[in-house]
Amino acid sequence: MLDLKGVETFYGSIQALFGMSMHMEQGKVTTLIGRNGMGKTTTVSSIMGITPCRSGQITFLDSRIDGKPPYQVAQRGIGLVPEGRQIFPNLSVRENLLVTADNYAAGKSPWTLNRVIDFFPELQVRLNNMGNQLSGGEQQMLAIGRALMLNPLLLILDEATEGLAPLVRQEIWQCLNRLKESGMTILLIDKNIEELNRIADYHYIIEKGRVAWDGTPGTLQDNPELKTRYLGI
């Protein structure tokens, strides 16, 4: 579904990705893991066209998307739940959900406001509250709901459980499991390797802007030295 080949991305003169290559299959959960500052968010920003890559290729459903602006990448079917949630603070929950809603891929049972609220019942009573009046957990649910309202073919979540209370984290993991069961293709970045191992089909470990190791959760689990070397666990 998604292929990165030799992606190099810079912030001004500072290079952050040094030939990042990865592959994602439809209906699978793929992860990007690695220590802080290794290039996970930059990989996501490169896919989305937020920080366009300077060289390399990014292909989504057989079409090149490198060089496309973020709104076109989103229209092709990639939904982003960004690091830090990035909820519109001065829009209501309902407006946050509707502002970018669409069904570009013409899915037969699209996500709608009602379906998102069924999925996240906590948002029902908050529909008329402003984005900045929500708890961290509610904001995270809203960020996921907003991305789902785009009816993406691929959903990317960057640190979706960061900074949340343990019970709320559990709730987000359960939601992600339900999305996986529904057949959604997901790219996940998170620090909780145990949870990632439970949900993932395939892992990519990033070190200094390129893939240092890739493999299945079972292989990662059976090789504690990988976790020590690349993740400091």
Instruction: In angstroms, give the least distance from the CB of 107 to ligand ATP.
Output: 30
Torsion of CA 25, 28, 34, 36, to 10 degrees: 100
- Per CB under 6 A, which region of 30-38, 53-61, 134-142, 143-151 contacts ligand ATP? 30-38
User: Rounded to whole angstroms, how far apart are CA atoms 213 and 229?
Assistant: 11
Instruction: In angstroms, give the least distance from the CB of 36 to ligand ATP.
Output: 3
Footprint of ligand ATP on 38-67 (CB under 6 A) = 38-42
For residues 38 and 93, which CB has a smaller minimum distance to ligand ATP in the complex?
38
What's the length of the chain?
233
User: Rounded to whole angstroms, how far apart are CA atoms 15 and 92?
Assistant: 38
37 touches ligand ATP (CB under 6 A): yes
Whether the Cβ atoms of residue 16 and residue 39 lie closer than 8 Å to each other:
yes
How big is the site for ligand ATP, counted in residues (CB under 6 A)? 11
In the stretch 111-130, what mask flags binding to ligand ATP with x, by CB under 6 A?
--------------------
232 touches ligand ATP (CB under 6 A): no
For residues 22 and 117, which CB has a smaller minimum distance to ligand ATP in the complex?
22
Q: Is 137 helix (H, G, I), strand (E, B) or coil?
A: helix
User: Rounded to whole angstroms, how far apart are CA atoms 228 and 103?
Assistant: 43
Instruction: In angstroms, give the least distance from the CB of 72 to ligand ATP.
Output: 22
Half-sphere exposure of 7 (CA within 13 A, CB side): 36
For residues 17 and 97, which CB has a smaller minimum distance to ligand ATP in the complex?
17
Instruction: In angstroms, give the least distance from the CB of 38 to ligand ATP.
Output: 4
11 touches ligand ATP (CB under 6 A): yes
Closest CA to 8 of 211, 40, 16, 49: 16
User: Rounded to whole angstroms, how far apart are CA atoms 66 and 145?
Assistant: 26
- Using CB under 6 A as the criterion, which residues of the chain lie in contact with ligand ATP when the complex forms? 11, 14, 16, 34, 36-42
